[in-house]
Each structure stands twice: as C-alpha cells, then as structure tokens.
Amino acid sequence: MMLNQLIKEHLPELIDKGIIQFEVPLAPYTSFKIGGPAEVFCQPKSIYELIDILKFAISFNINYFILGNGSNILVSDKGIEGIVIKTSALNKMERKENLISGYCGASLKNLCYFAREEGLSGLEFASGIPATVGGAVFMNAGAFGYEIKDVLLSSDYLEPNLDSLNSLNPIKHLSAKEHNLAYRSSVFQKQKLIHIKSIFQLQPEDPKIIAERMHSFENKRKEKQPLDLPSAGSVFKRPDGFFTGKLIEECGLRGYQIGKAAISEKHCGFIVNLGGATAADVLALIKYVQDAVYSKFGVNLETEIRFLGKE
C-alpha cells in the first residue's frame, strides 16, 4: 500500500487538522533554500500528535526525519522519501528561578532573547545561531568559544521504539552528563533519541548588560559570516590543528563556483546559494574543496552539514 494511503487509513484526523500534508517542497524550510519535496510533511502541535506520528512510522517501518530550523542540512533535489516532522509548533519557553526551558521547536534566538528579558545570562553567545533548541542540543551548537554544553542542565526525550512510546510515561530524562556532549556531537545523534525539551542553568544579570553582550556577538557574526545569502552555516568540521576557512583560502578557492553554489567571498568555510543553486551543485563543490585541500595539505575535511534524501 502506498504511504499516503496508509496515512489516510491510520491517521485521518491529523490530515483533517492540516497536521499532515503530502509532497511539500522543503526548500522554504531550509536555510540553504535548497531541496525537493517531502513525501509526507507533518507539523505536530502537541507531544501527543508527535508520538502518534512516530508510532505510525515505526509500526510500518517508514523512514522519518525530525526537522528543526533546517540550518545544518542539505536536502536532495529529489526530495525525501518517508515522513518529515517539522517541530516549529512545539515552541514553549518557561522560566523557573534561574532556569530557562525551551521545547524542541523553539527558536534558539527567541530563547536567548527570552532569557535576556528575564535577566538571565549565559546564552548570549547563541543568539545568532540559526537553530531550534532541539537542533542546538542535537549538535551541541557553539560560537565564540562557548557551547550548549556550558549551560545545559537536562533534557527530556523520546525513545524511538514502540514499547517506550506505548508506555504510560514515554517521556524520558537525561542529566547533563548523559548527553555525552562533544564537538558538534551528542547522544541524540548516536542513539537517535528524539529531543523534546531542555533546561538551561543561567545566572542573574542586568538585562542591559546581557543585551550589550548579545549585540557584540551578533555584530561579530555579521562581520565574519555571509548572512546576506542562503547557506547551511559552516560546511566542514574543524580539523585538529587547522582552520578550515584558511585551508580553503590557501587553495585559492575563495569565491570558487559550481553552478549557483559558491565558496563565500566573506568566509571560505561557508558555501552560499547565489540564487537557484541545487543540491547537486553543493555536493560537487564540497567534493572539489575536499580534493583540493587533501591534495595540497593532506588534510581530510569532514562535513558538518548532513545530506538528506534521495541520491
């Protein structure tokens, strides 16, 4: 049976509510503005709807992908088979004493501004990171020498199996240590856990001082990064002992272009979409850069962004 027919049979109420749609282009939902359609596109408005979608996918062995802000991915021109679950409606934020909590779909920037308004410091470094809370924890996002692990206290999550999802208490808990946070890495990646909410331990401070610090970080980001063009952020992980952008620049690749994808003139660690770039353009440029850097310096560049979808 076709996937859309299965969903119409088993989750008709979510279709009627507009939670589930079919053949939705993904380019508008990624920071690269690249990508073909999702076979099934879901935007759950509650954890219960999310659990129902996950139970359906697991029961029928259907591939699914949790999409946050789409800022660290490259989606295939042919799109993604299976189910894409967009978490943007799961965006509640709360304060309790010196703790700030944010659900998986909350904008990290909005969480940072919420903390500022509440007079709580510690997240200023993250105000310019184009991620959701879920994506930031998943990747242990960082900037300016700080990382999510510096302020993360705990998270709630779902285990992607029917026994757990069908239990009376499907939402599980992780302490800070249990996240196994490392450079752009977490237990969420390694065990494919599904992030629900995180709590951050912050410190009281004058909102004006917090605002000044955030403004300084955001200005540095604007000065150094090509925020005027669509991109997926830093394309490559930083190799030990080297700066990626410098390696690429010394290969003479600043501004190098394949199709409508180009090495940023502003920061060689970024690939930008000049308008109408395809995933094929970006993949070809990534390989060209990797080959050039290895040929000149003997350094293997590992991608930080993830490629999703049909080959």
Residue 94 near residue 56 (C-beta atoms within 8 A): no
Residue 36 to residues 29, 80, 135, 243, 309, Cα–Cα distance (Å): 11, 7, 21, 33, 9
What Å distances lie between residue 101 and 223, 248, 304, CA to CA? 30, 39, 27
Cα–Cα distance for residue pair 105/92, rounded to 1 Å: 8
Integer Cα distance of 36 and 211 in angstroms? 39
Beta pairing partners, 86: 67
Q: Which residues are catalytic?
A: 184, 234, 304
How far CA 113 is from CA of 41, 292, 300, in Å, comes to 29, 41, 38
Q: What is the dihedral of CA 74, 108, 88, 35, to 10 degrees?
A: -10
Handedness of CA 69, 75, 77, 81 (dihedral sign): negative
Structure tokens at 16: 């009627």
- Is-contact 47 6, C-beta < 8 A? no
